[in-house]
């Protein structure tokens, strides 16, 4: 079967997603927050982490890994920091709560560092980083995750794909860098498999050094989710130190420090996807540029710097984008023409809606 | 001529380097600090940034880019932050001063973020990050630098090689990650050219997309130092977005934010190597793990985590190192057997010593 991508109205999709989360038992306000993060993600062109993820969340809600009635609890706090136990609430709500706390501390004391344990998958790191940038602050967020990355010279995935989101206010739109510390995130592999496309580069390693390109190699690719298997994602920089693979591996460890190590939560290698007493950890940092100088002048100079990059000589036929540009173009297009969702994802959402008694056809058809 | 690497006693080399910096006019205490950073770097196996760099510093001292009598000045300060104008003093002294200030703030308030402008080349970022780790803190440091990195889809280097140093206390030795946000640092290219070795991977890009492997291609490789040329270093992740090159490019921009943008100093693209009124900027961050929980327990758990990585199944014939392991092995070897310095570097140091009236043969022969 060929998996076709079609356009859907973002506002109608948002309403459907709100309805689904309300049907799970989340409050109306919380359902809107969750749906907003998912639709925001699709509108910004990161389809691997938008409504495509609802099937995984559905599974976690079903098996109790995500607890609908949990609320985040501050278990340690200073003027510039906090540790939060999220009691396995849904990652999006934990993330919004935690980043808002970091933002509050940054506005009051210049810096806020919040680390949150016993959370669940929270979507894209860049969403939370950008919450700070929307308030005129530098924002950073990261999460650990199930073992996905094969450390340099090892055969076994151990470090999570551990993405980092970073945002800084800029004109005409914020600088937003959001990247897995692996060459590509797990979600990108899933999207390629759904779309029936082979992997164009050395994204997946078997036994630490052999590339897998074939998207139909289910026997090996299904091991990406199996603990202690011999199939994993390459670190940013590849599998060799000569191409800098140890740098991506090291960035993955830094994320582990700010998430699980400082929060004293569960390390990536402990997250096996089934134990309901184990969950990912996330970090949220906000910094007020005002503590270094005039915020408007700093942002104006940064915006000029980014514009200089955009206007550098380009490789023939290519465009130089700075981080956030493509996402902004996607967003403007999505507002006008709708979001891109593939048929497999649509049928998955339809089946969730049907099970929960939500009238899918009232919103989409 | 074949450039041969030989072993030199680190203590004798240290004494020689102290003597040379005293001959330039630095105080005895300052000369020891500068020499210590250089010998520390060689002892930890990062020969590209040790005494090999003395020739470049010599040129900067000669042409007034490095001012011997300057001292760093705090121009803006909060409980958790400071902006420093280094008045073009030597980078090593600016770095030590700035990181000590960040450490002091972290010990008092949990976090210290210092950004320093009008500095000069400060050696390896990891040295300053590790200063914090030696005090039981998380340390980070980065510097901008002359344009070296070609942004994704551009033909012209614009972003510096902008390295990031990160250190966290651990047993049996600290975790230290120190990496250029390009695939390799500029210094590595110089070392390969001195040693007469071709580049084994796509480290140098001509016109943004064509690899240069030939170390004898002086005509192109000398353009690595020329502003607005068409030869530059690839970002970490390579020149393609499919291999994650935009991630290394984005990390370079993050370094620019914490160095030049927040300090309101000179951006990488403004550092052309000749204007004495322009100099690189550096950042120094210290965070006390105690604000998140029991420091000893946090460090013990982190140490266990690193040990688990070392003990993963390895690719046949390879060893899994975590960041800092190789440097520690180098250090132990250098203490016992001396540091590795190539003949070209030795003859360069000899010529500097001779010019300054320092008796090279008293220390080395």
Q: Are residues B53 and B87 in the same domain?
A: no
Residue A275's pLDDT is what? Answer: 78
Q: Are residues A214 and A293 in the same domain?
A: yes
CATH of residue A13: 1.10.1530.10
A-proximal residues of B, 81-120, CB under 8 Å: 81, 83, 109-111, 113, 115
Q: Which of B268, B287, B310 is the last residue of a domain?
A: B310
Closest CA to A254 of A231, A276, A236, A230: A236
Tens of pLDDT, residue by residue over A192-202, are 998 899 999 99
The stretch A59-68 carries a mean pLDDT of 94
Q: Are residues A97 and A236 in the same domain?
A: yes
Q: Are residues B301 and B237 in the same domain?
A: yes
Task: Kindly determine whether residue B253 and residue A152, on different chains, have CB atoms separated by under 8 Å.
Answer: no
A262 part of contact set with chain B, CB < 8 Å: yes
Percent of chain A with pLDDT over 70: 99
Q: Which of B310, B335, B353 is the last residue of a domain?
A: B310
Q: Is residue B317 part of a domain?
A: no
B209 part of contact set with chain A, CB < 8 Å: yes
Task: Kindly determine whether residue A151 and residue B236, on different chains, have CB atoms separated by under 8 Å.
Answer: no
Q: Is residue B318 part of a domain?
A: no
Name the residue among A247, A264, A318 with its Cβ closest to that of B298. A264
Residue B72's pLDDT is what? Answer: 98
B305 part of contact set with chain A, CB < 8 Å: yes
Q: Is residue A317 part of a domain?
A: no
Q: Are residues A47 and A97 in the same domain?
A: no
d(CA A118, CA A114): 14
The stretch A221-232 carries a mean pLDDT of 92
Q: How far is CA B225 from CA A62, A148, B117, B148, in A?
A: 59, 39, 21, 8
Best residue in A133, A162, A241, A261 for a mutation probing chain B (most B CBs within 10 Å): A261
The stretch A341-353 carries a mean pLDDT of 94
Residue B2's pLDDT is what? Answer: 66
pLDDT at A353 over 90: yes
A-proximal residues of B, 11-70, CB under 8 Å: none
B204 has which bridge partners?
B212, B233
Q: pTM of the full predicted structure?
A: 0.97
Residue A190's pLDDT is what? Answer: 84
Residue B47's pLDDT is what? Answer: 86
The stretch A59-64 carries a mean pLDDT of 93
Q: Is residue A251 part of a domain?
A: yes
Residue B229's pLDDT is what? Answer: 95
d(CA B142, CA B164): 5
Q: Is residue B348 part of a domain?
A: yes
Q: Is residue A255 part of a domain?
A: yes
d(CA A120, CA A144): 10
Q: Are residues A224 and A286 in the same domain?
A: yes
Confirm if B172 and B310 have CB atoms less than 8 A apart: no
Q: Are residues B257 and B297 in the same domain?
A: yes
Q: Are residues A50 and A152 in the same domain?
A: no
Residue A1's pLDDT is what? Answer: 54
d(CA A146, CA A187): 12
CATH of residue A206: 3.30.1370.60
Q: Are residues A74 and A112 in the same domain?
A: yes
Q: Are residues B233 and B328 in the same domain?
A: no
ipTM over 0.85: yes
* Number of domains comprising chain A: 2
Q: Are residues B178 and B159 in the same domain?
A: yes
A123 part of contact set with chain B, CB < 8 Å: no
Q: Is residue B134 part of a domain?
A: yes
B341 has which bridge partners?
B6
Domain that holds residue A256: 70-310
Q: Structure tokens of A166?
A: 């970073």
Q: Is residue B281 part of a domain?
A: yes
Q: Structure tokens of B346?
A: 């030795």
B176 contact residues in A (CB cutoff 8 A):
none
Please give the average pLDDT of every successive group of 10 residues along chain B, which has 365 residues.
85 97 98 98 92 94 94 98 98 98 98 98 97 98 96 97 98 98 92 90 97 97 91 97 98 98 96 82 98 98 98 97 98 97 94 96 83
Q: How far is CA B156 from CA A327, B85, B160, B205, in A?
A: 24, 30, 12, 9
Task: Kindly determine whether residue A184 and residue B244, on different chains, have CB atoms separated by under 8 Å.
Answer: yes
Q: Are residues B29 and B119 in the same domain?
A: no
Residue A308's pLDDT is what? Answer: 98
């Amino acid at each position: 079967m060929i998996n076709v991508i079609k356009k859907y109205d973002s506002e109608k999709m948002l309403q459907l997603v709100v309805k689904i989360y309300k049907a799970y038992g989340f409050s109306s306000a919380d359902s809107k927050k969750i749906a907003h993060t998912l639709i925001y993600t699709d509108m910004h062109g990161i389809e691997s982490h938008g409504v495509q993820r609802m099937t995984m969340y559905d599974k976690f809600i079903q098996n109790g890994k995500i607890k609908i009635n949990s609320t985040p609890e501050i278990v340690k706090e200073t003027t510039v920091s906090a540790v939060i136990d999220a009691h396995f609430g849904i990652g999006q709500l934990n993330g919004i709560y935690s980043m808002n706390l970091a933002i509050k501390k940054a506005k009051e004391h210049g810096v806020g560092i919040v680390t949150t344990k016993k959370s669940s998958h929270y979507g894209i790191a860049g969403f939370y980083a950008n919450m700070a940038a929307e308030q005129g602050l530098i924002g950073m967020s990261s999460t650990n995750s199930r073992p996905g990355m094969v450390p340099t010279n090892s055969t076994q995935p151990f470090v999570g794909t551990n993405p980092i989101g970073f945002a800084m206010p800029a004109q005409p739109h914020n600088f937003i860098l959001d990247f897995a510390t692996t060459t590509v995130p797990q979600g990108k592999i899933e999207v390629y498999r759904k779309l029936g496309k082979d992997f164009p580069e050395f994204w997946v390693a078997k036994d630490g050094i052999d590339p897998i390109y074939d998207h139909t190699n289910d026997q090996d690719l299904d091991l990406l989710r199996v603990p202690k298997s011999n199939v994993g994602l390459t670190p940013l920089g590849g599998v060799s130190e000569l191409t800098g693979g140890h740098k991506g591996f090291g960035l993955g460890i830094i994320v582990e420090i700010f998430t699980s190590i400082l929060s004293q939560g569960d390390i990536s290698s402990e997250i096996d996807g089934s134990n309901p007493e184990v969950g990912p950890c996330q970090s949220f940092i906000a910094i007020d540029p005002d503590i270094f100088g005039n915020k408007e002048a700093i942002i104006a100079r940064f915006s000029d710097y980014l514009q200089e990059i955009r206007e550098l000589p380009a490789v023939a036929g290519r465009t130089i984008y700075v981080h956030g540009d493509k996402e902004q173009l996607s967003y403007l297009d999505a507002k006008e023409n709708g979001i891109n969702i593939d048929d497999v994802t649509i049928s998955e959402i339809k089946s969730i809606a049907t099970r929960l008694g939500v009238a899918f056809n009232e919103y989409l058809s």
